[in-house]
Amino acid sequence: MLSLVLALAGLEAPREFPVWPGEPPLYRDLGEIQANSGRLNRVSTPTLTHFPAQGSKTGAAIIICPGGAYSILAVEHEGYQVAQKYASKGIDAFVLKYRLPADGSIHPAPIWDALMSVRRIRLNAGQYGLDKRKVGILGFSAGGHLAASASSLWNRFPAPGTDGSEDLSRPSFSILVYPVISFTESFAHRGSRNNLLGDRKTDNRFAAKLSPEQHVTAATPPAFLAHSLDDKSVRIENSRVYHEALRKSSVSTELREYDQGGHGFGLGRPNQDSSAWFDQSIDWLKRQGLL
């Protein structure tokens, strides 16, 4: 349906392709992907769906990680809709279907999928007409945890086959929208933590290894964060601790806090101030010299 709508509008239809050149490491055959109401799970083979930039091309690319507590992927309102919006601004957008720990795809499978996505887009930048210095990552909720992990742990969990060139997997920037961040603080999102940590969910040392705010360095890419004060699911303290960690490491960061939005608002809900985040992220990218 989406391809038909884009074709009628005279726009290039999105194309889906595998993240990995062959069988992914830690591969598990889960059968057919289960899809229901814009959500899916049982991802055996991670993929990227490319939404080409429209109009004046900026040379920037963004990889979008939908949320879903590492249990499902909200690919419609936290994936395809967002990709279309960035593509309309001249940014090539790629929606990542990453493997889910709730389906048995244990750590580090999801972060390997994210890191390999950045690496693959960067190595093929010429094919897409992109600037390899402008390949970023965006994540919502648990997808925000994945994007922050790719940004802060890119050299701690190198994907197989990188041959010592892990820096190719480092995102150029990150955009984090109501992200899950800490797994060790009292405000940790238990569902995401339990799904990702699995049998080691009570291991606090392991949880600390997967808490992005504890691994920020001067080499962590700049970040734009958006979160609402009335988010009862993933508390705003998650964004605040990552923002503060970036500031302490002298990494460029911007945190936008909103009065209304709750959780899972995607591009935004009518008459709520959190709907401003997308335009504000574009302004931030421009100030960073990325557009």
Residue 182 placed within a domain:
yes
Backbone angles phi, psi at 6, to 5 degrees: -65, -40
Residue 6 placed within a domain:
no
Q: What is the pLDDT of residue 164?
A: 62
Residue type, 25: P
| Contact (CB, 8 A) for 76 and 95 | no
Q: What is the pLDDT of residue 11?
A: 62
Lay out the sheet containing 92-97: strands in order across. 15-18, 47-51, 92-97, 61-65, 135-140, 174-177, 223-228, 253-258
Helix spans in 88-203 (H): 109-123, 125-128, 142-152, 190-197
Could you give the C-alpha distances from 76 to 38, 39, 116, in angstroms and in order?
A: 5, 7, 22
Element holding 206 (H helix, E strand)? helix 204-209
Residue 218 placed within a domain:
yes
Peptide bond into 108 cis (omega under 30): yes
| Contact (CB, 8 A) for 8 and 60 | no
| Contact (CB, 8 A) for 117 and 63 | yes
Q: What is the pLDDT of residue 122?
A: 96
Neighbouring-strand partners of residue 18:
47
Q: What is the pLDDT of residue 12?
A: 77
For residue 213, the number of C-alpha atoms closer than 13 Å in the C-beta half-sphere is 21
Using one digit for the tens of pLDDT, what is the confidence trace for 146-183? 999 999 999 999 888 776 677 899 999 999 999 999 99
Residue 139 placed within a domain:
yes
- What is d(CA 64, CA 139) in angstroms, rounded to the nearest whole number? 6
What Rg, from alpha-carbon coordinates, does the chain have?
17
Residues of the chain with pLDDT > 90, as a percent, come to 91
Task: Supply the range of the domain harboring residue 196.
Answer: 13-287
Residues contacting residue 253 through CB under 8 Å, at least 6 positions apart: 222, 223, 224, 225, 243, 246, 247
The pLDDT of 122-149, averaged and rounded, is 97
Residue 78 placed within a domain:
yes
- What is d(CA 71, CA 7) in angstroms, rounded to the nearest whole number? 32
Token couple for 26 = 């830690």
Q: Which residue has the tokens 């939908």?
A: 66
Q: Does residue 55 sit in helix, strand or coil?
A: coil
Q: What is the pLDDT of residue 10?
A: 52
Residue 5 placed within a domain:
no
User: Residue 156's closest CA among 112, 186, 102, 95?
Assistant: 112
Number of structural domains, the chain? Answer: 1
Using one digit for the tens of pLDDT, what is the confidence trace for 191-216? 999 999 999 999 999 999 999 999 99
Residue 290 reports pLDDT greater than 90: yes
Question: Is the pLDDT higher at 266 or at 1?
Answer: 266
Residue 5 reports pLDDT greater than 50: no
Residue 7 placed within a domain:
no
Q: What is the mean pLDDT of the chain?
A: 94
CATH number for the domain harbouring residue 249: 3.40.50.1820
Neighbouring-strand partners of residue 41:
34
Residue 4 placed within a domain:
no
Using one digit for the tens of pLDDT, what is the confidence trace for 217-226? 999 999 999 9
Residue 8 reports pLDDT greater than 90: no
Going by the DSSP 8-state scheme, the letter that residue 265 receives in this structure is: -
- What is d(CA 96, CA 75) in angstroms, rounded to the nearest whole number? 9
Using one digit for the tens of pLDDT, what is the confidence trace for 16-71? 999 999 999 999 999 999 999 999 999 999 999 999 999 999 999 999 999 999 99
User: Residue 112's closest CA among 83, 146, 74?
Assistant: 146
